[in-house]
Each structure stands twice: as C-alpha cells, then as structure tokens.
Amino acid sequence: VLNRCTHVRVNGQRIPLTQKITQKIVDQCIQYGTGRDTLRCLALGTVDSPPDPRTMNLEDSSQFVLYEKDITFVGVVGMLDPPRAEVIPSIKECRMAGIRVIMITGDNKDTAEAIGRRIGLFGEDEDSTGKAFTGREFDDLPPEQQSDACRRAKLFARVEPAHKSKIVEFLQSHGEITAMTGDGVNDAPALKKSEIGIAMGSGTAVAKTASEMVLADDNFATIVAAVEEGRAIYNNMKQFIRYLISSNIGEVVSIFLVAALGIPEALIPVQLLWVNLVTDGLPATALGFNPPDLDIMDRPPRSAGESLISKWLFFRYMAVGSYVGLATVGAAMWWFLLYEDGPQISYYQLTHWMRCEIEPENFADLDCTVFEDTHPNAMALSVLVTIEMFNALNSLSENQSLLVMPPWKNIWLMSSIALSLSLHFVILYVEILATIFQITPLTLVEWFAVLKISFPVILLDEALKFIARNYIDGEIVCRTSIYEKPTKKRISHILFTIVMLTTLCVGYFYWLLKPYFPQLMHAIGKNPQSNPNSFHLHSRDDL
C-alpha cells in the first residue's frame, strides 16, 4: 500500500509523501511488528477520485495497479493476535520427536520472525538468514536454490497459496512426510497435495473437504497430541502382534519338542484351544489400552517404508517363543523325572514310554499307567498359562523396562490377567471341568515350580529390551545416519552385555536345578546297559 501512496494526510491536511516520511512510517511499523506485543500492521489509504466501478476489471489482478494510484496514506492499524501459551512447549516437543515445524504466513517478514522467536521457532539470538524467506524472495531463487531453501527454512512470510503447494512439492521430493494446515479455499490444493491435510475447525467447507483431519479447537498443540496418540496406537498394535506371535511360537515349539523327544503329550488339543481362544484373548485385547511409552515423543519418526516386524523383532519373537515351548515341555518332564512326589523315572523310560509293555526288563517295577497320569498335563498347561501372563506384562511396552512402566499403568491388562488366571483355576479345581480338560489340581509345591519355570521369561525379555534400548533403537536416535557401520566399541559393548546376561541366566537355572542334581544324574544314569542309544532323542516314527 505504501508503495502506491503519493500523499499522506497529517492533521487533516493532504501533503506529499516524502522519502523521510515514508521511512518514518516503515520504522514505526517495524517497531509495532517486532516489539513486545508483536502487532500485525495494516496500512490504510484512500483514493480521493476513484474511477467508475463499471469500467474496472476486478477479475484481472494485473489491472489493479491502474486503479490503485494517487493514494493518500491515512494511517496504520495494529492488531494483536498473540500465540497461545501451549504453542511454545508443543514446538519444543516436535523438535524432540524429530518433527520439523515450518511457519507459513501472509504476515510481514519482520513480524513473522518476531512471532517465530516468541514461540521458539528461532532462538533468541539466532540469525534467520537463509532460514526465513518472503514469497517474492522465494520466487526470485532458481529451482535448485528453492529446493535447498526448503531443506533449511523455518519461516515463509508474505506467501500466496501457490507458494504453499510448491513448498509441499519440494519437501516431498526430499522424502519428507508433510502435514499442512489451512483454513481457506485457496489452501485446498496444498492441503490435498500433502500427506496429511489439516483444516481448521473454523475454516471453510472446501478446506475441510480437502483435508484428512479437522482441528476442531484450532490449536497447534492438538496436532502434537494427535501425533503422540498415533504413535501409541501403532506401538500397541505391534505389542498385540508380538504377544500373540511369541505365544503361538511357544505352543508350536512345545508340540515339536514332544514329537522330537518321544515323550507323552504335554498338551492335548482341547487344552490348546482353551489357551488360544480364552486365556490369550483377554490380555491380547487389553494390550490395546497400553499407555504411551515415556519416551514416545523422544524418538525420530519411523520411515514410511519400515516393515511392521523387523529382523530384530522377529528374533525377539523366536527367543521368547522358544523359551515358552521349552518351559512348557520342561514342566511335564520335571514331574516325570525330578519331582519328589512323582514317579522319578529315567530319561530312557520317559522317551521310550510306548515300549513299556513290550520291554518289561527296561521298565522294572514301573506301572505303565503312570504315563497316562494327568499331572504332567496340568503342569504343562499351568506353565503355559502363567508364562503367557508374564509375557503379557512384557508386552506393556516394546522397549521400556517393567521398572519404568509398571504393570498397573494398564489397569485393563491387570484385570484381564486376573480373569484369565481365575478361569484357569476354575478348570483346574472344578472336578467336572478338570475331567473334561484332562488335568489334575496342583499342590503348593507344584505351583512354586510353575512360578520358577515361568518367571525367567520376564528376565529374558528385560535383557532383550536392554539391548534394544542401548544398542538398537538408541543407536538410531544418536547416529546421524542409521546406516552407519557399528564401531568396535559398540560391538564390544554388545558382546559384554550378551556374556553378562548369559551368565545371569546360567546362574538362575543352576540355582533352580541344583536341588534336583542327584535325581537328574540318577535319571540319566538309569539307562539300561543293553541299550547304547538310551540317551539319544527319539521320535514316535522310530517306534
């Protein structure tokens, strides 16, 4: 407006607009726009002898210069539009989450920069050169420099709607995932072009139609909250899959081990159906109510091409699932071989149980009906149920320790675990149901054994989480490139951690099995002398 003014009205008098007066007006506008209140300044002017509106072509903006001439400057209006208090912490949170915030406005550049400093977009003493552009400055750059400007820019001022679409295109060409906000009809192309178009609740219907999301309260902090909620939903989905896959792998491993070792069935079909349909289902559903991880907004955004299950996660599934299977079969074998109130048979007799009646010399003083006892099934089923409840606790967070994210953070998960265990007690101690599921009530000693066998799954997953936090995800956050080759120091740290955790696991199992060493040696040593292959693994096909 000021550039098209030829006069200024002072004390009611219309006088020529000199360079000195123009500079004084500009300085005053800069003071208003960059001062404590950061006012948005609008210049007002009048045309004393306007042309006939019927002769004006208002559809062609290039003709406006012909009508906007000989204007008299009458004053400046300053409008106060302070940023909301929650914008400052929201921008800081975005920066920590690896989200880049770019301010695009139609305001004067000086005013926009002052607002940017107030909300934390720029540092208090940060030089904005090369980081703030007007629409005209951006247009004057060649395409290569425009692309480079979009890589480092934090602010675009005095922009037109076409600039927004061009900025989105450049950002997308850099592999960025863009979210654009807008409220007007002219914003619709940019909203449509960006991956996530966000329309203001007070915006036009056209803008809302072109967007994927409508911000009902027109609050930037709500966008940050939506990002956090989206990350939490994605993590909960991964934890749901992790829990079910690792549990099912454990069931498959247990069935395979029974067949490979040639021992009596540890789990029968009706028990597996009960675990899959009832026991697993309740905690798996409750995992959808997991709270967000404490560091969920401290992680960089995941790649758009990232797979749901990475190689590391698959290894974790296999490690936990393998232990579930080993523990389930081990509980049944413990009852046969080591339990003081059990039969305490030899390993050979257990793995060749189908020869009990045809090789009486190898099964002396042993009632063959012991292999039909339902105690081993009850032990295996109880370990499977208990270990999967512990596994559900592990699934409270992908990488956060239970010491940081305690179980009571998700009350629904605790309730579902309590209900699942209650249902297990019902089928275990109600006689008619125990008959249907072919199990027997357990004693207190047997329950202690169940807990000792099941609890290490928490230690195992805590160890895997420790490695993930410090050597997998932690490296991705700290390194400038996720493809950087691991250093010798990092490899040594990983090896040291693995050795330390292996030592702890061996120590735990030594403590667990030490009371049974005499029975274990006795069970292994009771193999018939006539059978040199007595300690080899056998399958039912060999029989």
Confidence of residue 513 (pLDDT cuts 50, 70, 90): low
Predicted confidence (pLDDT) at residue 543 exceeds the cutoff of 50 = no
Strand partners, 198: 181, 213
Confidence of residue 179 (pLDDT cuts 50, 70, 90): very high
What one-letter code names the amino acid at 41? C
Biggest alpha carbon–alpha carbon distance for the chain: 128
Which pLDDT belongs to residue 124? 81
Looking up tokens 């691991």 gives 486
Range in 336-340, 360-364, 450-454 with the lowest mean pLDDT: 360-364
Predicted confidence (pLDDT) at residue 416 exceeds the cutoff of 90 = yes
Please tell me which of 379-393, 464-478, 501-515 the model is most confident about, judged by mean pLDDT.
379-393
Provide the sign of the torsion angle of the four alpha carbons 136, 138, 140, 143, taken in this order: negative
3-class SS at 515?
helix
Which pLDDT belongs to residue 418? 93
Residue of 505 and 304 predicted with greater confidence: 304
Separation of alpha carbons 392 and 90, rounded Å: 33
Which pLDDT belongs to residue 537? 40
Separation of alpha carbons 121 and 104, rounded Å: 12
Residue of 440 and 354 predicted with greater confidence: 440
Q: What ranges make up the beta strands (E) of 17-98?
A: 40-47, 71-79
Supply the DSSP symbol for 292. P
Which pLDDT belongs to residue 175? 87
Average pLDDT, the chain: 82
Predicted confidence (pLDDT) at residue 245 exceeds the cutoff of 60 = yes
Which pLDDT belongs to residue 344? 81
Which pLDDT belongs to residue 476? 43
Predicted confidence (pLDDT) at residue 324 exceeds the cutoff of 70 = yes
Residue of 167 and 184 predicted with greater confidence: 167
Which pLDDT belongs to residue 305? 77
Whether 133 contacts 158, CB under 8 Å? no
Instruction: Give the whole-number percent of the chain exceeding pLDDT 70.
Output: 87
pLDDT average, residue stretch 387-404: 89
- Beta strand pairing call for 13-16 and 5-10: antiparallel
End-to-end CA distance of the chain: 99
Strand partners, 214: 199
Which pLDDT belongs to residue 424? 92
pTM confidence score: 0.72
3-class SS at 9?
strand
Supply the DSSP symbol for 472. I
Six-digit token string for 313: 């996660």
Separation of alpha carbons 208 and 219, rounded Å: 16
Which pLDDT belongs to residue 536? 41
Range in 20-34, 202-216, 303-317, 475-489 with the lowest mean pLDDT: 475-489
Which pLDDT belongs to residue 306? 77
Separation of alpha carbons 356 and 399, rounded Å: 49
Which pLDDT belongs to residue 411? 93
Residue of 414 and 81 predicted with greater confidence: 414
Residue of 521 and 471 predicted with greater confidence: 471
Strand partners, 134: 157
Phi, psi dihedral angles at 385 (to 5 degrees): -65, -45
Look at residues 142, 127, 114, 116 and name the one whose alpha carbon lies nearest to residue 33: 114
Separation of alpha carbons 139 and 155, rounded Å: 15
Residue of 542 and 193 predicted with greater confidence: 193
Q: In the chain, what are the domains?
A: 2-79 (3.40.1110.10), 225-293+309-542 (1.20.1110.10)
pLDDT average, residue stretch 96-125: 86
Residue 279 half-sphere exposure, CB side, CA atoms within 13 Å?
Answer: 27
pLDDT average, residue stretch 63-68: 81
Which pLDDT belongs to residue 471? 76
Whether 138 contacts 187, CB under 8 Å? no
CB atoms within 10 A of CB 64: 13
**Residue 234 CA: distances (Å) to CA of 96, 123, 211, 241, 398:** 19, 33, 22, 11, 11
Separation of alpha carbons 463 and 490, rounded Å: 17
Supply the DSSP symbol for 287. G
Predicted confidence (pLDDT) at residue 215 exceeds the cutoff of 60 = yes
Residue of 493 and 251 predicted with greater confidence: 251
Which pLDDT belongs to residue 64? 81
Confidence of residue 415 (pLDDT cuts 50, 70, 90): very high
